[in-house]
Structures are given as C-alpha cells and as structure tokens.
Amino acid sequence: MKDFNLKPVKFFLCLLFIALLFDTAPQTVYAISQTPPSTNILTQISSALASLTEQVKPSVVNISTSKTAKTQRLPLDDSTFKKFFGESRPKKQKVFSLGSGVITSEDGYIVTCNHVIEGAEDIVVRLNDGRELKGKIVGLDSRTDIAIIKIAAEKLPAVKWGDSSSLRAGDLVIAIGNPFGLSQTVTSGVVSATGRAGMGLADYEDFIQTDAAINPGNSGGALVNADGELVGINDAIFSTSGGNQGIGFAIPSNMARSIMDSIISKGKVIRGYLGVQVQPLNAELAKQFGLRNEKGVLVVDITEGSPADKAGLKRGDVIIAMDEKEVEDAFHLKNQVAATKPGKTVELSIIRDGKPTTISAVITELTSEAAPATAEIDNALKGVAVQGLSPDILRQLGITREIKGVVVTAVSENSRALGILKRGDVIIEINRKPLGNAAEFTAIVSNIGRNEDILLLVIRGDVAQYITLGGQ
C-alpha cells in the first residue's frame, strides 16, 4: 500500500486559509475600528446642540419684578364684620414675579414680554455671569405683548437676529429661559406651525407654535434656530394643567425687532392704517359673491376719510392680495397693514362683482396706539393704560360726536386710579389741559408729581364728568 502524499493537500489548505483571512479581515477590522454611522450622527447632533446652547445662553437673562398689590382684609359683603369692625380697607402687599429676556444690543437693550414687566415698580435683571442690574422700561406694546427695557452696561453678549419668515413646520428650534425660576434652562423641539392667530393673547398675532417645552417663567426668553439665531420670543403656552403640554407660542423675531426699533428710534410704536373692516369667507359667502373659492377676506365696512375710502374700496369687495402677497385671513391682512410704513402706496388685488381688479391705497399712520410707558410717571395715573381715539373706537364706545383724547384700556391692580377710572373711559382733559393723542397724555402725566392731585375731564357712556384723583 502506497503512502498518501500530504504535501499538495497542505499547500491547498494554506492557500485557502490565506484567502479566507484576506476575505474576512476587512470586515473584522471595520467592526472593531469603526463606529456605526448612526452613532456618529447622534454624537454630531448632540455636540451641535451643546455648542449652540453655549453660544446663545449668555444673551438670555433672568428678569425679576415686584409691585404693590391691594387685597381686601375682610369680605366686602359680610354685614357682621362691617358691624363690628367697620368697612374693610385694602391691604397692600408686595407681589414678586419672574420672567426672561433677551439681550439685543451690546449697550444694554433687552426685549421681553409686556406681561412680564407690566405694572412693575422694580425690575432686576440678572445676567449669565451673575451680575444683577436695575432695569428701566423703554417702552411697552400690549398689542403685541412686547416690551423693551434697558440696563446700564456695555459690551454685552447680544443675540444674533434671525429671519422668522423663513421658518417652516419641522424646523429644529431650542427655547432658553428661566421656567419656575430655574435659570438658563434649555429645551428643544421643532416648529409645529407658523402664523397662528385668533388665540386671544394679543391684538396682533402671528405666533410660532412649537413643541419645545415652555413653562411659566419662560416668557420673554429666546427661541433660536439651528444657526443660533433669534427667531422668536417665548410668550405663552396652551395648557389645561398650567404646565407644558407640548403646545407653546412665540412672537416672531421679525415682529419683535420691528416693535423694538420703532420704540427706540421714535419713542412709540408706528403702525400702518388702512381703515377697513373685513370678515373671513366661507362657502356660502363665496357663492353669494360669485367667487370660485374662499381665498381672501370680505370687506364689510370702511371708515370715512380713511386710506381705504380714498382708494375707492367698497363693501362687498374681496381683498385677495396686498403687494402680490396673498391675504390668507383677516389676521394676516391686519398684520400686513400694521407692518407697512405710513406713506407707502400698496397695491390691493380685489374681486369686485366677480371680476378681478387692482387699486392703489396710500397707507397712513395708525394713531390709536398705546401711550409708551415711561419710568418718569409716578403719580395717581401710574398703572393706567390708554390708547388714542379713532372713528372705529368712538363707534364701539357709542360716542356719536367728534372728540379728541385717549381711551382707558386697563387699570392695574396696584394703581391709585383703580375703582375710579374704568376701561372705556375717554379722558379729554388733564388738569384743564386738552388731550389730542396718547403721546400728549404721556407728556402731561410725566410732569405731574407723586403727591399732586389730578383733575380729569372724562366721558363715560357719552356723558362728560370731572373726576379727581388724590395725591398720595
């Protein structure tokens, strides 16, 4: 029996082993030395968010305010208490609240929400580096819930402004603020929707909706995009519990910046005015007016002598676009007009009697604006919010004659005028000085001392009467 020669077999096995080694080695090395792609992406996102937060956090501040509120010691309608103790007298106590703000310039201008500092007697701003500085009110705009304050400091870390009009649903955003007093808290999410209006939160609404967690104390804080740019000012939440439920609202940065620039440069908010009352369309109205769809808004009233009147707009016209920008609804048109500079000629695309046409209108300034708040007011009218008169406001108040003055829109609970002046009162004179507009109101009131009596001539329910506010 011949011996089996193993040399060829060994040679073949060696070749097979080498081939298998080279075939599997790259896979083995890859598995050991390379991180799976999915892990790489998560690491990059995490690093990017952390860097973004570090970039923006120094621009976000904590705002604490205090004011004096009046509370009743005893129930007003309890006759037993009245019999033995007399009439209940209001008790004064300090009320403190917290909010957030965003530094917008190196020299100390800060944008926040009007409701954060409205009625505040003292404002303290705490910076990211721990410094605490006194804040001074530059101006308030309750119609958008925007407020501007200033601190005495220089070379501050100002935020970079972004273009809120470029936001889309699904864009990544982060919210930075001080919820529940927890400073420099960061939450992230996406833009849920844009152009939210009709929420009843302000007169001019164009909210950004986000699911980034926003809670009490976040108001006035920053909503920034993936580039670290300010795209919104956190304002409110929709909640049935008082806490975050994934539906938060922010004021667009474009609106906030426009309000801020106007207050700083002009001392007041300047808005455009068209003088038209409109209503949304539905299927039945579209059919009645011979329209193919429900796009645009229906003109139902026009103020005499207004830009709309002079341009030739009529009841029954349907406004579908302004300067080639589609009018989605009444809120959209209101915001478009308000953002237009007075004196600008706009092209209105309308449908009249079923036929499309275009007319030109020259936008004027809306004069019925809230008086700019000023830290100089420290008398019995402190805490009284007013706005100028317009034909629309006079009609709503049931006043048929032409008068000049301001209408009271709110009286804060810490004001000495509380219970004396009422919402809807029209003030036409202060200390025998006639009023023309809200700016004159501020100019006159800011020169009245803390202890001086104030004589007002007020129209209430179309009846004129003198009212005295006593000095403290």
Q: Which of 59, 97, 142, 219 is catalytic?
A: 219
- Based on the residue annotation, tell me whether 425 is a catalytic residue of this protein: no
Report pLDDT for 249: 92
Report pLDDT for 6: 41
**pLDDT per residue over 385-433, tens digit each?**
888 887 778 877 888 778 889 998 878 767 888 889 988 899 999 999 9
223 touches 210 (CB < 8 A): yes
CA pair distance 358, 347, nearest whole angstrom: 7
Q: Which CATH number is 56-268 given?
A: 2.40.10.120
Q: What is the mean pLDDT of residues 339-368?
A: 91
CA pair distance 21, 437, nearest whole angstrom: 90
Q: Which of 141, 145, 235, 317 is catalytic?
A: 145
**pLDDT per residue over 51-78, tens digit each?**
888 899 999 999 998 876 555 454 445 5
Whether residue 292 has pLDDT greater than 60: yes
Q: What is the mean pLDDT of residues 164-188?
A: 88
Radius of gyration of the chain (CA): 31
Equal fold, 272-365 vs 384-469:
yes
CA pair distance 188, 61, nearest whole angstrom: 18
Report pLDDT for 96: 73
DSSP 229: E
Q: What is the token pair recorded at 169?
A: 């649903």
Lowest-confidence pick of 78-87, 112-121, 213-222, 232-241: 78-87
Residue ranges covered by each domain of the chain: 56-268, 272-365, 384-469
Q: Which CATH number is 272-365 given?
A: 2.30.42.10
Selected from 1.10.3720.10, 2.30.42.10, 2.30.30.100, 1.20.58.2240, the CATH number assigned to the domain covering 384-469 reads 2.30.42.10
- Based on the residue annotation, tell me whether 145 is a catalytic residue of this protein: yes
Report pLDDT for 243: 59
Q: Which of 59, 64, 115, 258 is catalytic?
A: 115
Check residues 197 and 223 and name the one with the higher pLDDT: 223
What rounded mean pLDDT belongs to the chain? 82
Rounded to 5°, the CA angle 57-60-66 comes to: 145
Check residues 277 and 61 and name the one with the higher pLDDT: 61
